[in-house]
Structure 1
Amino acid sequence: MTQAPKSVESPAASPADLANVANIYAEVAQRSARLLTRYLDRHARHGVSAASDDVGVAKAFMDLSAHFLAHPFKLAQTQMNMMWDYVSLWQHTSLKMLGVPVSPLATPDKGDKRFAHADWENNALFDFMKQSYLLSARHVHAAVSDLEGLDPLTQNKVNFFTRQYLNALSPSNFALSNPEVFRETLNTRGENLLRGFNNLLHDLEAGDGTLRIRMTDTQAFELGRNVATTPGKVVFQNELMQLIQYTPTTPSQYKRPLLIVPPWINKYYILDLREKNSLVKWATDQGHSVFIMSWVNPDARLAHKTFEDYLREGTLAALDAVCQISGEKEVNAAGYCLGGTLLMTTLAYLAATRDRRIASATFFTSLVDFSDPGELGVFVDESSVSALEKKMAERGFLEGSEMAGTFNLLRANDLIWSFVVNNYLMGKDPFPFDLLYWNSDSTRMPYAMHSFYLRKMYLENALRKAGGITLAGVKIDVAKVKVPCYFISTIEDHIAPWKTTYAGALLPRGPVRFVLGGSGHIAGIVNPPAANKYGYWTNESLPALADDFLAAATAHDGSWWTDWHQWLLALPAGNAQVPARVPGSGPLPVIEDAPGAFARFRLDLQRPVAHDSAPA
């Protein structure tokens, strides 16, 4: 018969243990006092304003309630089904407590790490709580899904926020119902909870009253030392970006330089975390002359910067500099996520102006067609965008932590609740992890640019329409893009759903190769050949439907990086080489070492700044 976990006998607390607890108490008291003082001071100066429902959650659930009132039979049927499942669960648990082998009624999804501890299965009490939760979550989700009469946006909001509610109520998130936390609390006499409370106060203090959960030890990393380590130089800069040229590692390089356009919603060094998984380092080692843009982390002084400015002072300025430095008339370009959206816009601009300097373009998980943006669409409707514009108008920018919080919600169990358990219940410090260090290195977005992007791309889906967007006096038409394009998307992407990126790949009129990688938005792209993970699918044809592409696709082991490299070399004149280009040897002098000042500026290590101050 299984039994509840017992307290582990341990010796009496030593003077050192007592002193440690006393120090934690003192730190908690100091932090609490500082936070309370700040809170009172802030509200004394600004007053208390009522919270607004910018995303329209309340209205969505009011519509849901009205639907249930109009269809009481469905709700009654759901309740009856759940009651019978609970009767079965009680029978199952009774048999298990008597030592009878039984199969579980509900099991976590594959990859659900919340219930990995052995006690969730071996201990009858915790197994009952786990299955009770999973059954309840299943029935609640079924009750609110696919309801007739709700418009698609309201349905998506109900589904999304119901899942957030269910995630929050998981028994793994509470000390008494999480077996691992329960044991740790007994073994440490509750010191873990005290340490966790101190960690909570630390994160509130760091967020200036807003909870900013630490995902990693930010002190364990330093740009240029153990992340963003590929040697290179900043060779050009303006108000919006710095251009980095990387030091060659081969005696000769391919004639066409490679210009990478990263998203400005995060920093470029996701493609240069460390040597063994750096796309920048790998491409340089293959003989490419690599340039990458490092976007500024803007403040209110750049509030007026528009999407057109990101075209003029971003991709076009970088293209000018790369051609000037290399002496070449053609370059290969690649864009990641939002950077890919800007790159496609740039290609359409160049096509309209008969500028042929970009010989090929690669798009890493990039949306060109925004018809189905996935769960991000929950946060992008007219009311949500209008409310966000009001906030941005006051500050001049969208705060980076707000955007990071939205993305974290898309994977709340991994990016929120796992850290709540580790940091606040287990009382542990977060583990040093370079990817999470980058993820917490948030960036702002200028008001004018971000408003244009949300409205024109998400709300209007104007980029896919001929002349739907006009930039610098030029009507943008993606159908005029005829350069060879390579699209790499990932099958588990929750930010740029692969079926939507596939729809965008059908828009340009030149030769297109679409490749579907394994894993998600980050891991599927940062997938070096040496790791031999995930695999990818190819299909030499481009059928009209994404499902047809995958049904006839060929599976490959390993990384898509090698397929992309071979695609670049197979382009006309793609294999031509020149002596290696050393940063600073061309007409533009070196400004500073990579990763550069724009990347080094980190918001979460800065004190709150006035609106008229510039990034350091």
Structure 2
Amino acid sequence: MSQTSQEPAPGAAEPVPGRALDRALSAMQAQTTMGMSPRSAAAAWADWLSAAARAPGLQREWAERAWRNQWRALQGLADPALGFQPEPGDRRFDHEAWDQWPFRAWKQSFLAAQDWWGFATQGQRGMRKRSAERVNFMVRQMLDMASPSNNPALNPKVLQATAESGGLNLMRGAGHLAEDAVAELAGVPKQSETFEVGRTVATTPGQVVYRNDIFELIQYAPQTETVQPEPVLIVPAWIMKYYILDLSPKNSLISYLVEQGFTVFCISWCNPTEAQRNLSLDDYRARGVMAALDAIGRICPDTRVHACGYCLGGTILSIAAAVMARSNDTRLASITLLAAQTDFSEAGELMLFVDEAQVAYLEDLMWAQGYLDQKQMAGAFRVLRANDLIWSRLIRRYMLGEEEREFDIGAWSDDTTRMPYRMHSEYLRGLFLENRLTSGRFAVDGRVVALSDIAAPMFVLGTEEDHIAPWRSVYKVSLFTDADLTFVLTSGGHNGGILSEPGHPHRSHRIGHRAPDDHYADPDTWFQQHQPQEGSWWPVWADWLTARQAGAPVVPPPMGAPEAGLPPLDPAPGRYVLQR
């Protein structure tokens, strides 16, 4: 795939010999920084300092804020109700002793500093917005690290546990630390003892009916006497294993669809190695999505398919659908996008890591390795939610000495994958950095594709607390498509909002419909016009799919198509999901 009509993605080609040394040195540096570019960080700080230096009025506001914060913190020492309070959702200071002396002094001092830095790192006149966001993000990371809750000598919950156990909590924590350090040095991926793929998760019965070097296609066994006449194809993200959609039986979206009488196929992507470094983004479209559709067509001939893409899987499905529409390929009966972005101009906190310097830095790292490593990818996501995923865990495991309770979604998130060099470079540049898909500059086979060509009805889902694909960014697909579109906004985050099985407590959703001739409504207006409804969005989607079926239920199709060269190869979940 050419990313524009004339030129390949910058950075994808091998460097000229004179530059190889530069890239090798950059890659070595990137190994020590988890792929984060120090140049990007330094540029953001320089921009912030430069803007502040030429703004004496702003400096005066900062000084006044510091005095007010100091006074409020002093008031908080006398009466905690008069002082600073943690932000909503911040549970670091929940222990009642944080409002007692001397702990409240440390709490008030920290919250006062946090408030001041939050004010000081807002955007300034004449400063690039991206620089302000990056400085704010870096300051939050440093403050989170310096929180008194992370210091065992200052945290009352840790001190209480130490006194009650005679220090056993610290001994157990030291053991956990040694255990984790050995595993890290050995380079052994963490494996759950409770949740095992194929035994306790990814257990929906089925067969691998097609395999190439990029993916396996799983066909799930019917669980009803008749099924809907048109099958469903699920295209998951290749950034993680597919079984986020087939976790425990109680919260498996795939199992739910099969139980509702749908014939379900799902792509299981490979975990690329260095030998697959030159897999391209278009390989994932042509030899992934399109190959899966071709295989389904041999199993269910003369039948259209309801395609569903999750996260990056939805992005590549959108591209494939646009190419199909351009070619008058009408095999798609509908398109569902789950927490998937097509426009990346407002792509959330992940954009803090994407600029020319950062992308070049990652490219050098991937050029040296042939892929983006599992730990490097997972580390970036953990940093986005450092309080929950890093520091809270540090306190529980190393200071309180608690054994971590395992959850299926936690075991899945630890089962990470690699990203091939060329594909990830093309993705970061063509979509994240340059936003070519919705700016009319993304080309396939030398011709620019347009989402507006898509005529199939669309079901698009965003999640309210998504840090990876913010719902307002997901919603923007309505700007670039003209097809009949149903948009659903569900409670929860990028993964938790998807795992919203019927009966899940505290779940709600909003739903709206846009006919092809309706005018555009901005996301905030849409939000105000659609009230939340209690319960899961899964039945809503199942009903939507059922309403768009071409006919009455039929006898289930065979598993695979041996006569067409597609015999069942392996029981689900297949081989690729087990690759480490």
Give the TM-score taking structure 2 as reference length: 0.89
Question: Helix, strand or coil: the match of 1:145?
Answer: coil
**Aligned equivalents of 2:447 and 2:223: distance in 1?**
40
- 1:351 CA drift (Å): 0.9
> In the alignment, residue 109 of structure 1 is paired with which amino acid?
E
Report how far residue 464 of structure 1 moved: 1.1
Q: Does the CA contact (< 8 Å) of 1:349 and 1:474 recur in 2?
A: no
Q: How many Å apart are 1:54 and its aligned residue? A: 4.3
How many angstroms apart in 1 are the aligned matches of 2:279 and 2:37? 28
8 Å Cα contact 1:173-1:421 kept in structure 2: yes
Q: Is the 8 A contact 1:253 1:289 kept in 2?
A: yes
Q: CA offsets per residue over residues 143-166 of structure 1, 9 Å max, x none?
A: 111222211111111111111111
Partners of 1:113 and 1:582 lie apart in 2 by 52
- State the secondary structure of the residue aligned to 1:60: helix
* Aligned match for 2:493, one of 520, 525, 528: 520
- CA deviation after TM superposition for structure 1 residue 518, in Å: 1.3
Pick from 18, 33, 44 the counterpart of residue 60 of structure 1.
44
Structure 2 matches for 1:75-474, cutoff 5 A? 75-94=59-78, 96=79, 103-121=81-99, 123-208=100-185, 218-466=192-440, 468-474=441-447
What is the distance in 2 between the residues matched to 1:410 and 1:359? 37
For residues 372-391 of structure 1, the C-alpha deviation after alignment (integer angstroms, 9 at most, x for no partner) is 11111111111100111111
Mapped to 1, the partners of 2:574 and 2:491 lie a distance apart of 32
Amino acid in the other structure paired with 2:86: P
Alpha-carbon separation, structure 1, partners of 2:162 and 2:540:
51
Q: Tell me the residue number matched to 1:8.
A: none
> 1-side partners of 2:187 and 2:510: how far apart?
43
| Alpha-carbon spacing, 1:49–1:400, altered in 2? closer, same or farther (3 Å) | closer
The amino acid that maps onto 2:475 is Y
For the Cα contact (< 8 Å) 1:54–1:383, is it kept in 2? no
Give the deviation of 1:207 after TM superposition: 2.5
1:469-524 residue CA offsets vs partner (Å, 9 max, x unmatched): 22244532211111111100012111111111111233122211111111211111
- Which consecutive residues of structure 1, in runs of 5 or more, have no partner in the other structure? 1-45, 97-101, 603-616
Contact 1:279 1:526 in 2 (8 A): yes
In structure 1, distance between residues paired with 2:293 and 2:493: 30
- Deviation of 1:283 after TM superposition, in Å, equals 0.5
Q: CA 1:103–1:551 in structure 2 vs 1: closer, same or farther (change >3 Å)? A: same
Q: Distance in 1 between matches of 2:472 and 2:102?
A: 43
Report the Cα offset of residue 586 of structure 1.
5.5
> How far 1:184 moved relative to its partner?
1.8
Residue in 1 that maps onto 2:573? 595
CA deviations on 1:402-426 (whole Å, 9 max, x unpaired) are: 1111111111111111111112212
| Gap change, CA 1:592 and 1:393, over 3 Å in 2 | same
What secondary structure is seen at the aligned counterpart in 1 of 2:477?
Answer: helix
User: Which residue identity lines up with residue 87 of structure 1 in the other structure?
Assistant: W
**Equivalent position of 1:505 in the other structure:** 478
Question: Distance in 2 between the 1:163 and 1:157 partners?
Answer: 10
Q: Which amino acid aligns with 1:67?
A: A
CA RMSD of aligned residues (A): 2.3
Most deviating of 415-424 and 58-67 = 58-67
Q: CA deviation at 1:124?
A: 3.1
| C-alpha distance after superposition, 1:447-477 (max 9, x if no partner) | 11111111110111111133x2222445322
Deviation at 1:75, TM superposition (A): 3.3
Report if the CA contact (8 A) 2:37-2:361 is conserved: no
Greater CA radius of gyration, 1 or 2?
1
Letter matched to residue 68 of structure 2: W
Aligned-partner residue type, residue 530 of structure 1: G
Equivalent of residue 581 in structure 1, options 550, 557, 574: 557
Q: CA deviation at 1:328?
A: 3.8
Aligned counterparts of 1:281 and 1:532: Cα–Cα separation in 2: 19
Q: What residue identity is the alignment partner of 1:581?
A: P
- 8 Å CA contact 2:500, 2:536 repeated in 1: yes
| Cα distance, 1:532–1:286 mapped onto 2, change above 3 Å | farther
Q: 2: CA distance between counterparts of 1:67 and 1:47? A: 29
- Ranked by relative contact order (alpha carbons within 8 Å, sequence separation 6 or more), the top structure is 2
Cα 1:445–1:420 change in 2 (3 A) is same
Deviations 1:79-100 (A, max 9, x none): 3433333334334423x5xxxx
CA–CA distance in structure 2, aligned partners of residues 582 and 171 of structure 1? 61
Aligned in 2, Cα 1:308/1:528: closer, same or farther, shift over 3 Å?
same
Question: SS of the residue aligned with 1:167?
Answer: helix
2:25 maps to none
What is the total number of aligned residue pairs between the two structures? 545
- Residues 154 and 129 of structure 1: CA distance in aligned 2, closer, same or farther (over 3 Å): same
User: How far does the alpha carbon of each residue in 1:23-76 deviate from its partner, in whole angstroms, 9 at most, with x for none?
Assistant: xxxxxxxxxxxxxxxxxxxxxxx9999868446112211222233332344334
Asked whether the equivalents of residues 408 and 415 of structure 1 are also in contact (C-alpha less than 8 Å), the reply is: yes
Amino acid at match of 1:503: K
SS at structure 2 position matched to 1:394: helix
Aligned-pair identity in percent equals 37
CA distance in 1, matches of 2:182, 2:360: 30
CA contact (8 A) 2:210 2:218 kept: yes
Residue by residue over 1:550-584, the C-alpha shift from the partner in whole angstroms, topping out at 9 and shown as x without a partner, is 121132111111111121122262x5321123524
Deviations along 1:156-210, one digit per CA (max 9) or x if unpaired, are 1111111111111111111011111111222333333333233233323322388
State how far apart, in whole Å, the 1-side matches of 2:125 and 2:167 are.
49
Matching residue of 1:483: 456
Task: Tell me the SS of whatever aligns to 1:304.
Answer: coil
* Worse-superposed segment, 428-437 or 50-59: 50-59
Stretch deviating more after TM superposition (533-542 or 326-335): 533-542
AA paired with 2:220? Y
Task: Please give the alpha-carbon distance, in whole angstroms, between the structure 2 residues aligned to 1:55 and 1:325.
Answer: 52
Residues 537 and 554 in structure 1, CA contact (< 8 A), matched pair in contact too? yes
TM-score by length of 1: 0.84
Number of the residue aligned with 1:41: none
Aligned residue identity for 2:63: Q
Amino acid of the structure 2 residue aligned with 1:549: W
Instruction: Please give the secondary structure, in 2, of the residue aligned with 1:533.
Output: coil
